[in-house]
Structure 1
Amino acid sequence: MAHDDDLPVRKRRRLEALVLDSLGVDELRAYIGELTEEIARVEADIGRKQGHRSAADAFFKPR
């Protein structure tokens, strides 16, 4: 009998997979638009965080 600890750790999904079969072309295009907006939002946050990191690295850089 396997224990839960023996099971491989599954990577957490941040987005639920949408059932695409019931969507029409216009709905699929709208969905792509939503995903594109979310990607842009995440990329902007990555840029902001990298900027903070660069500033911190420059501040603490040995002289």
Structure 2
Amino acid sequence: MSLFDDDRPQKKTAHEIGSDLSLLSVDELAARIDLLRAEIDRLESEKTKKGASRSAAESLFR
């Protein structure tokens, strides 16, 4: 066992909607904002893919 915890794997930052933000540092808030922006991009990409699939299916059955 190491004297320092630096060798341990870092926990993946997660954000729970509505959680208390008062104990977070500015850097932690920025990290959460980046995390949420990346998740929004991922969701929008998936929405676009599903919209294209749906449009293709609707045009096939017309």
TM-score, with length taken from structure 2: 0.69
- In structure 1, the residue matched to 2:45 is 44
The higher-RCO structure (CA 8 Å, 6+ apart) is 2
Q: Return 5+ residue gaps in structure 1 as ranges.
A: 1-14
RMSD: 1.1
Count of aligned positions: 47
CA deviations over 1:23-54 (Å, ceiling 9, x no partner): 01010000000100110111011001101111
User: How do 1:22-37 residues align onto structure 2 when only pairs under 5 Å count?
Assistant: 22-37=23-38
Task: State the percentage of identical aligned residues.
Answer: 40
Amino acid at match of 1:54: S
> C-alpha distance in 2, partners of 1:32/1:19?
14
Query: Runs of 4+ in structure 1 displaced over 3 angstroms?
Result: none
